[in-house]
Structure 1
């Protein structure tokens, strides 16, 4: 009898462990500067910004920097790297540091990231020349972020917007605006009074929007718009705040067999759970009376 009760419990757990239709699929975005210019003897840092889903851990990543096909830096999830390099990776930055560059360091550099079966690359060109021979670096702006977010009521959510500009950029050159469905949620216009944490993130090329204890009404379309000199770029993200009770509510119209099967599975889970609970409680009462 007791073993049968255990068997029913296991059956219920296996049923409950069926795939959740709201799980995030792995994704990878990557961006960076396309051209770097330096004089002989200078130190140069090539930057590769990437974004992944919330389930990413460093051991999921393989990152390779190459120059003209030759590997310059490699991280394969278990590589021995410095504490600073590890901090950069947690900040979604894959950097290649070049010290005292010379003309022979000029060339094409590629940052390739492999994550959960997805592989993407970003190519940059480094030009090392004497200043009198070097054309002036033109302003540029790139922006990347995560397209979708899912959360439960009461959770804290951080919407990520990463950007990169040329080396002449100062914070007062920037105007950054987060909006939700057209309404401003956060604004930095170069002279805004912001928290030290927000200021530190901007120096790290991150314009994050933090949302505390989100509710259903926080669901919607959020846009991060950055204006730099005469350039303006935006990244759009969608936040869905789902109530756990929603999965037990039958939709008014079933549009596919998949949806029908989903709710039939939920019903089965509830029935099996009720049977397990009823039987096990009855069995415990029986044991107590017998004693």
Structure 2
């Protein structure tokens, strides 16, 4: 039986990919960000994860506003990485496991999620920005990806609770697959940021820390929040945080053990990566370090 072995929350800022491609991993401005992903990459290598299920949003690369699905799942052997204006990236196409992807698609529909299924479409920075920080890619990726795109651009958006329930449905789909696969769920986006309008450059570290605490300890509180609440607290684009609830829903209803957290605010986006396993929490860290690296 396939099983979920952990969950990752990650920002998907497009400039992360640009900095990575330009070899800025040791640049003083970028090293704190890239170093923050190393423990997560080491954990994935140690666990030998077979599949990453990515909950992400497409930024009008695969879809556009004339037909923008609420939930969409990719089924295909390969997905090209999109050129978003900075040129083609020196990364192999993202690998897929068609049998597993098709099983999840069928299971979700039978679980009353009317999803869109896509293939042969490029994947943008919503997934491709953090992916090479998590997995090596030469000569190829070590496993496959299930891309699950969530609409956080064109209103009406799915509710935070609906995203959580999507994660629960994905868990049921994974656990009903007969092959022995080790699966990690990844929720992307955020945290606080706004890139347009009167509040351009807005961030709220206090809210970011509270969001991370609630995600771990009280996701029900986050499910009760409206989109306007997320926008007010974290900026217009921080509504992406509802995608982290899909990851959280896929991790079950029991307690979580946070293995690692890195929070780096050096641009307009609070860039964050967090790693969870199911199980009793580790004793909570206090003080300034808790807001940076745990």
TM band (smaller chain): under 0.3
Q: Higher Cα Rg: structure 1 or 2?
A: 1
Q: Which has the higher helix share?
A: 2
TM-score normalized with structure 2 length: 0.26
